[in-house]
Amino acid sequence: MSSISPFVTFQPGRGQSAEAAMDFYLALLPGSRVISDQRYGADDPGPEGSVQVAELELAGQRVRFSDSFVDHAWDLTPAVSLWLELDSGEEQRRVLDALAEGGTVHMPLDDYGFGPFGWVDDRYGLSWQVAVVG
């Protein structure tokens, strides 16, 4: 069966860390879990112990993460976001506040005519659009 899921690449040479981001997301989103976590070894091209590729389940969705051993000219961008639907406004506020800490708020939590919504880039550069179901 075919499937599609996000793959997020961090650049340790720019101070980014897949491990730090993954730990943050796992603590932030209840019910999330590590599916697999493969690290670079001593003879691999990436820094030993950094994330070669890891797969997490976040809010029921599989997302892959990696620390690139190549310093790319590009970075993460809000042109592509993770869309997160939560069950309550209270949970939405909690999650948005945590994501916004040390990050960038594109649209603060408000009702934009389609329900409560907020859009932020977190401290790791990943963009999140957060809404309430229903």
Tell me the pTM.
0.94
Quote the CA–CA distance of 9 and 1 in Å, as a whole number. Answer: 25
Quote the CA–CA distance of 81 and 114 in Å, as a whole number. Answer: 18
Q: Write down all domains in the chain, each with its CATH number in brackets.
A: 7-67 (3.30.720.100), 82-132 (3.30.720.110)
Confidence of residue 23 (pLDDT cuts 50, 70, 90): very high
pLDDT confidence of residue 86: 97
DSSP lists the bridge partners of residue 8 as 65
Quote the CA–CA distance of 96 and 94 in Å, as a whole number. Answer: 6
The average pLDDT across 6-14 equals 93
pLDDT confidence of residue 13: 83
Decide if pLDDT at 134 tops 80. no
Confidence of residue 78 (pLDDT cuts 50, 70, 90): very high
SS3 (DSSP) at 110: strand
For the purposes of burial, counting CB atoms within 10 Å of the CB of 126, is it exposed (0-12), middle (13-18) or buried (19 or more)? buried
